[in-house]
Amino acid sequence: MWTSHNHSEEITVYLIVCKNQSGEIIVPPYTAFEEQEAISYFEENSCEPGQSLYGHELVRILKAFVVKNGRIIWANREGLQQEEARYIAMDFGCYGIPNVYFRSLLKENEADLKSNAIARIC
């Protein structure tokens, strides 16, 4: 949970990047603060029919953002060679509450690549 962290410490945000059964890249709406936490979430939600990630292929656990003092100080820029570049955005909204735009994956021509608020997912 975001509120449980001290805002003066660096917080690393991990995202799960996977392919659905149609081969489409998706990022499930889940943020983790440790890589193992993200792996566990994927494993727990992909093993049985009816679960949200069942039948999905794990592409990567992505260190997407680093946040300090309520600011995004780093965003991933590394991609996967076999996939078309896709990006995801994060902001802190009106009240400083972090929001990752899981439903809006951006193409390279749609992303502001100079912004730390945009991370490359593939």
Strand partners, 17: 60
| Least confident range of 18-27, 59-68, 94-103 | 94-103
Q: Tell me the one-letter amino acid at 81.
A: Q
Amino acid in the structure at residue 5: H
pLDDT digits over 89-113, tens only? 998 776 667 789 988 899 999 999 9
| pLDDT score of 66 more than 90 | yes
Q: How confident is the model at residue 1 (pLDDT cuts 50, 70, 90)?
A: very low
- Phi, psi angle pair for 59, to nearest 5°: -90, -45
- For residue 90, the surrounding DSSP H or E stretch is strand 86-91
CA-based nearest residue to 24, from 86, 108, 111? 86
